[in-house]
Amino acid sequence: MFCLGQIIKPQGIKGEVKIRYFADAFADSRSVKEVVIGGQTFAVQKLRVEEGFACIKLKGVEDRNAAELLRGQELLVDENNRPKLSHDRYYISDIIGCRFFADGVELGTVTDVLQNVGADVWEVSGEKPFMFAFVEGVIKKFDFSGKLIEADAKELAKVAVYED
């Protein structure tokens, strides 16, 4: 199963739930017709995108109380039904766990991606943990099958912030 996101909270009184999406845009998931939450399959009745989040109405979740029971749960889809993204888009779950290199030198492993309005911020753990803004020019190569990401060391140095 593939995790599309996590239910943050109920939205309104008619059973909708607000989702934190684990990709850079939820609009790609409009093709998803079914999701699995807590081992139970739900049909997607309606989906709307808001600033940085999405709201979904699921069949069988008819009021705020039913939606509240889903709070914190992951929104899963079968791996084969995972929405396809264009070449310049990514799923956060594909990035987390990748070994991170800069000009051939391994710096650590990507442990989190924080989504912000201006740019996503990646956290990398390693001998010297750091964070950096994902901006154009920093990443040279994604190899998701090999779980490797290669950065341009010079560009990374401009945006990286190291822990003390």
| Residue 97 counted as domain residue | yes
Examine the domain organization and report whether 102 and 129 are in the same domain.
yes
Q: Same domain for 16 and 69?
A: yes
CATH number for position 99 = 2.30.30.240
Coil, strand or helix at 63: coil
Sign of CA dihedral 95, 91, 76, 78: negative
The CA-atom distances, in angstroms, between 105 and each of 64, 81, 101, 126, 129 are 50, 36, 5, 12, 14
Of 51, 81, 111, the last residue of a domain is: 81
- Give, in order, the Cα–Cα distances in Å from 94 to each of 14, 81, 149: 33, 15, 11
Residue 57: inside a domain: yes
Residue 8 falls within a domain, yes or no?
A: yes
Tell me, yes or no, whether 53 and 110 share the same domain: no
Decide if 86 is inside a domain.
no
Same domain as 97, residue 62: no
Mean pLDDT of 18-33: 72
Asked, for residue 70, whether it belongs to a domain, the answer is yes
pLDDT tens for each residue of 29-54: 677 889 999 999 999 999 887 776 88
Interval 105-125 mean pLDDT: 90
What pLDDT is stored for residue 93 in this prediction? Answer: 80
Q: Give 128-162 pLDDT, tens digit per residue.
A: 999 999 999 999 999 988 999 999 999 999 999 99
Whole-prediction pTM = 0.65
Residue 26 lies in a domain: yes
Tell me what pLDDT residue 25 has.
Answer: 58
Q: Are both 113 and 146 inside the same structural domain?
A: yes
Structure tokens at 145: 């099958």
CA dihedral 118, 119, 125, 130 (to 10 degrees): -60
Confidence of residue 83 (pLDDT cuts 50, 70, 90): confident
CB 100, CB 124: distance < 8 Å: yes
| Number of domains forming the structure of the chain | 2
CATH code of the domain containing 17 = 2.40.30.60
Residue 127 lies in a domain: yes
* 87 within a domain of the structure (yes/no): no
Which residues span the domain enclosing 27? 2-81
Q: Are residues 114 and 71 in the same domain?
A: no
Residue 135 and residue 97 share a domain: yes
